[in-house]
Chain A
Amino acid sequence: MKSKSKFAGMIMLLLMFALTACSGGNGPKDGATPSNPDTPKSGNEASTGQDSKEPVTIEFMGHGNPNEKKIFEKLIASFEEKYPHVTVKYTSVPPGEYSQKMTTLISSGKVPDVFYVGGPEFYRFAEAGTLLNIQSYLDQTSLFNPDNVWKQAMDRYRFDGSKVGAGDMYGLPKDVGPWSFVYNKDLFDEAGVPYPSATAGEWTWDDMLEAAQKLTVDANGDGKPDQYGVGAYSLESAVWGNGGEYIDYATGTVKVNEPEFYEAMQFVADLNLKHKVSPNQEAEQAMNAYTRFINGQLAMFAMGPWDQPAFWELPFDWDIAAWPASPKTGQTATWLGSMGFSVSAKSKHPQEAFDLAAFLSLDEQGQRENYQLGQAVPNLIDMAEGEFKEMDKGPQTRQVFLDIIQDYGRPDVVAFSKDTQWIDTFNQNASKVWNGEMSAKDFTAQIQPKMQELYDKGNK
């Protein structure tokens, strides 16, 4: 009951202004030199020393864990070696504050030259004219071959003036994050249950449920299982696999009230409510599925490539498999996350900024370090299909990551939304289904009009 918060927001804003005011000027050297931004030069010939180019400073802002920061510091050092006339100022902010800070910087006209963008952000920034159209630079660059980059990753950063996913490039992928189905091999061995298949479509929901029932164990007989079959099962995977959709972006219709959707949702809810093979909400809050998996008390779970370093430390064997397919359609699906690098439309040195973005996104050595440290799947197709797949650290079946990227991974629901309130409302109230208060059918029928209204208001 303290009134500290009243000014907290305001002070935060002011602090941001203050902080960014200090990082604005780059000295008198640049700015005076028009580096003719209209005629992109090919960026591969490392400058031949002597006179050729005026020194340039570009700012780069990102976020991430200390590991990631280290990688980027290394990458930037090798970039500066390759382009001696460029100095990069790198700022890394905590992920939670990134979106706020970036938006504040944009509104105060102090945008870094190169910065991270993610789903809804990319859309908002592209539409607001904050991002540089890098198509012409891309067409002329000899830094890399666009055909050797995942199409699914590139398409995330296309914008045609009104929609994301088609048109010119306004960013380059930093990574793609295939959300995969992970399982504890030791627990499967103990229970004598065959492993899930790594091939999409072979292993269905029913098979998964059967396995989960055998893998849910209450050893001490207190009525609460101390080992669960499956945890945090992806609703997106179930819905999409079942032929359902959250929304049809082409028409802007929210479709959660259709049978394909609510049947899938009910299936996920019933894993706990009916079959008790998944922790209920309370158990989940007491100890989340991630912790249970790490402790060896959960047989099936989900992971992203960024979980690799933590999972390498685990005392048990684990691997990834294809997400279970809907028995109704035989289809399987999951979401494919992604972050990207964009260049500011206001950048004074668009060529150098583009070169940095391209280097960070696609430099072979950088990509190699990244995957070896377990941060991501390489953006470069030949590397991903070659040395990445051969890597001797878990998961063993790395092909699954690639299958998701190429075949059945889809952008997360919010990737094409500027305003995410409609989906947030769904998630905020979905607990009524998870805890058995309402059936998925009733709940989705009730929430659909609200979601539609919010979507129309925020995105049309």
Chain B
Amino acid sequence: MAVEILKDRNPSRVGEVVLGATREEGGTRAYSLRVGGDPALPFHQFEGETVNRPAVALEVVDTVPEWPEELARCYRDVWQDPAQWAKKCVEEYRADLVYLRLEGADPEKGNRSPEECVATVKQVLAAVGAPLVVVGCGVAEKDNQVMEAIAEAAAGEKLLLGNAEPDNYRTLVAACMVHGHSVIAKSPLDINICKQLNILVTDMNLQSNRIVIDPSIGGLGYGIEYAFSIMERLRLGALQGDRMLAMPVLCTVGQETWRHKEAAAPEAEYPEWGAEAERGVMWEATAAAALLQAGAHILLMRHPRAATLTKALIDELARPTDF
């Protein structure tokens, strides 16, 4: 019996952002990475090819983090040294890119100076060839000083710098403009604020192909479905031609996973939840699987095995289909 395969005609597509610059492109990265560009809903090969596969990032922190044992055992040997840590993420754990969080700049957690932070970024750049994402400590005033210095020191590298937030975006966006980087526009799980922030950032004349959205996902079991629906609406809006919703999306999967007890609580405490060695990995990878289908472009992960499983899943989803 004849079946008419339904293919949506989308008048527009998601924007494409380039991360990292090689020597020829004015930076020092071994390769650059493109994210976004999708002409259709995620992995709907039948109505538009997956132009760029979603990228998997692993997180590096410039201070020794207080992570659960299941994560700690993967990074303990390198976490005194962000450069070695980044190297392990790329070479051993095959991350597509590195997400460096400068927690140590926080006045409460070391109060590292902009110069020290610049030095850390340079060490990481020297240690790996992967494109780099750098975000601050979350204290607005300090981040402005730190990120401005980093943007200048790494001019030409096409870093992805964050986070530009509704009440603090000008300094970071200006620094990205001047020094050729892209910016993460982070909104608090609210599609209206997300759109408005993209407008404010583009109003400063930063082109929309240098913006990545961080919609602030909720973790699996903790509001992930809100993010899922926001991301579906973002993608549908982008495909219908709303340019202020059409930026690629970054999801902080690892951060949202490992702060909840389901990821790391010992089996002895919650026997019906199963072994914690697998549970945290699966908690993280399952969240990634869900978000991939809502339109995630960069998945920030923590556990290397969750990252590996997610990459394998992306490869599966991107395989050609019969129609």
Chain A complexes with chain B:
no
Using a CB–CB distance below 8 Å, which chain B residues touch chain A?
none
Using a CB–CB distance below 8 Å, which chain A residues touch chain B?
none
